[in-house]
Each structure stands twice: as C-alpha cells, then as structure tokens.
Amino acid sequence: MAKDTFFRKKVTLNARGKLIDISAPKVMGIINITPDSFYAGSRKPGVNEALLQAEKMLADGATFLDIGAYSSRPGAVDISVNEEVDRLLPVVEAVVNGFPDAVLSIDTFRAQVADAAIKAGAHIINDISGGQLDEAMFATVAHLQVPYILMHMKGNPQSMNQLAQYDDVFTEVLDYFVSRYQQLKQLGVHDVIIDPGFGFAKKPEHGYALMNRLQEFNMLDLPVLVGVSRKKMIYGLLGISADEALNGTTILNTISLMKGANILRVHDVKEAVEAVKIYETVVNAGKTF
C-alpha cells in the first residue's frame, strides 16, 4: 500500500450538521437497552440507567454513544419492530434532552427503527447487517443523509454461527465492502464507516486473521470502526470470562489503532480513551523530536 493512501481516507463526518473530525481516533461507548446482551455490564434496560451510563461515558471521553435495543449476540431472541422502537425511543429522547451535544449512533438493522430514532434526535445508523436484513435500509439512510456504519455479517443473529465459513476471510469481507459501498454511493450516501464485524459469523481465528490485515482496509479510503470489546475471540483464547476480558480488549484496541482504526466501539470508555491518548502521544512524539 502506498504510504500516502491512509491520508486520503475520509476523516470528517457530517452528523446532522455536526462536523466530527476523526483524523485522531475516537471512542464510541455501548449502551444496550436490552435484557440479554452478551456482556451483562452493558445492559441498561431502563431510561434512568441509560442516562447514568451516558453521563459516565461522556465524562470519560466518549465522542459517540451507540444505543441498541435489539440484542445481536449469537442466538439472541428475535423481537418485533414495535418492541425495538418502544425500548429505544424513550432512551434516545432522554439522552438527546439530557446531553444535547452528544452524538448518538443507533444500533439497528431495521429501516423503520432507524428512521424513528433519527427523527427523535439521533445522528448515525450502525447496521450490523450492512443493509442485508432490510432492503429499505440503504434508501432510508440516503433519505435521512446521516453517517452509516456498514458492518460485515452473514445471516442474522440467530443463524450467523452456522455461517462462519470462509476460504479467505479478508478477501471476502473486502469484496463485500466494495460491493455494498458502491450501492450506497449510487444512492448518494456520503459518510460511510466500515466495520469488519468481529464475532459476527466469524470464528475467533477469522477475527484474528482480519485483525492481522486490518490496515489493508485503508485501501478503501473509508473510516474503519473496530468493535472487539470483551468478545469471545478474547475471552475464549485466554480461557476467561467476558467480565475478565478488559485487558485483552485494551491490547486489541491498541493493535487496531496501530493499524489505522478511526473509531473504537467499547463497553469501557475510560480505558479506550487512555489507549488512544497513549497511542497518539507516541505517534506525535515522532513528529516533534
């Protein structure tokens, strides 16, 4: 890859008029409005709990808050659109009112949910399915003109574990991004962030293969989001639990930063912000001495 390729990467996002500079890496905090997300510490099913978590994450340095009301862990229970909206909107409205400067990402693969959340004051759509589970999603994002996180996954949360088969996982994920991004461009979507989808229809060995070549996604000139926080690729390898996987998460987050990640999606904001600060200090020290 040519040395200057990275610097052609898009490094600003227009989030409903808020221009966000991601040339320096940023942190996205996870708030799950669900009773069954894989990491119990992320579950904030009530409005008050979610507000407290939002306050803490913003104080710890999060640039984005990613709010989801549908558990996407492997084998999660499917819920209706109405139930997802009913869980989500009160929290979105409360966070928008309580923290008007916060930038809210909505973790959903359903166009109807995305539309309702953006109209309630959210800014970004984070779609684990890359538009594959709702054919109206791409057109909805184009109409709303908001940044879109395009993640790679096969199947759905109920079936993805059975579909974790690849001849060459990096090439397949790269080809997917090229194809899906072309469709988004044709529809007039301007701000696209790619997410390799660690743990989604991927065995741990697939995740580590993608991490090994993460810097090669920079050839797409698109911002890269990495979400490895407390996932099985960490705790399974180390023989521990998700509750014990913070150290491993920080290590993989640091490797991600070294390979060009622009956004870290995490359960533990303070530690991720510290990793970014140390990484940036090392990089900038080389420019000043």
Phi, psi of 240 (to 5 degrees): -130, -170
Q: What percent of the chain has pLDDT over 90?
A: 80
pLDDT of residue 97: 96
Asked if residue 194 has pLDDT above 50, the reply is yes
**Whole-number mean pLDDT of the chain?**
91
Asked if residue 45 has pLDDT above 70, the reply is no
Asked if residue 139 has pLDDT above 60, the reply is yes
* Among the listed residues 33, 30, 28, 38, the one whose alpha carbon sits nearest the alpha carbon of residue 161: 38
Asked if residue 289 has pLDDT above 70, the reply is no
> Using H for helix, E for strand and C for coil, what is the string for the chain?
CCCCHHHHCCCEEEECCEEEECCCCEEEEEEECCCCCCCHHHECCCHHHHHHHHHHHHHCCCCEEEEECCCCCCCCCCCCHHHHHHHHHHHHHHHHHHCCCCEEEEECCCHHHHHHHHHCCCCEEEECCCCCCCCCHHHHHHHHCCCEEEECCCCCCCCHHHHCCCCCHHHHHHHHHHHHHHHHHHHCCCCEEEECCCCCCCCHHHHHHHHHCHHHHHHHCCCEEECCCCCHHHHHHHCCCHHHCHHHHHHHHHHHHHCCCCEEEECCHHHHHHHHHHHHHHHHHHHHC
pLDDT of residue 40: 52
Instruction: Quick: pLDDT tens for 83-118.
Output: 999 999 999 999 999 999 999 999 999 999 999 999
Structure tokens at 147: 């940044």
Considering the candidates 185, 231, 232, 277, report the single residue annotated as catalytic: 231
Considering the candidates 87, 202, 230, 265, report the single residue annotated as catalytic: 265
Between 193 and 7, name the one with better pLDDT: 193
CATH class of 23-283: alpha beta
Active site residue 265: yes
Split at pLDDT 50, 70, 90, the class of 44 is: low
pLDDT of residue 157: 75
Residue spans per domain, the chain: 23-283
> Picking from 27-36, 110-119, 198-207, which range would have the lowest pLDDT averaged per residue?
27-36
> Picking from 141-155, 158-172, 206-220, which range would have the lowest pLDDT averaged per residue?
158-172
Asked if residue 75 has pLDDT above 70, the reply is no
Q: Are 193 and 107 in contact (CB under 8 A)?
A: no
